[in-house]
Amino acid sequence: MIETRALVDTGAALTVVPRSIANELGLRVTAKSGVMTGAGVIEVDRSRAFIELEGRSEIVPVVISDVIDKVLIGVTTLEILELEVDPVTGRLREGRLLLY
């Protein structure tokens, strides 16, 4: 288990974990994907990680990054944990699961 600060990125679908943290956690690469970034398409490793945020926890899909050096929490993780960003305060609040 690692406790770290993370940035919520509502422009990202998946949560991003730096390679150093993925290695420390022993995350197993389960797939490779091409992802669109500001620098174009790059290939990244994918895995799953147990994430706890605001007292809620779940195993979620993650992208392992060799470029980004901090944990970025993506929208998929927020939705799985039933959280959303309050646009007024910029803080996380309870949300609802969307069934669509």
Q: How many CB atoms lie within 10 A of CB 86?
A: 11
Domain count for the chain: 1
Q: Do the domain assignments include residue 100?
A: no
pLDDT of residue 100: 64
Regions of the chain where pLDDT drops below 50:
none
CA 23/CA 73 separation, integer angstroms: 18
CATH number of the domain encompassing residue 13: 2.40.70.10
Give the DSSP per-residue string, 21-53: HHHHHTPPP-EEEEEEETTEEEEEEEEEEEEEE
Q: Which of 44, 60, 50, 67 is nearest to 3 (CA)?
A: 50
pLDDT of residue 1: 86
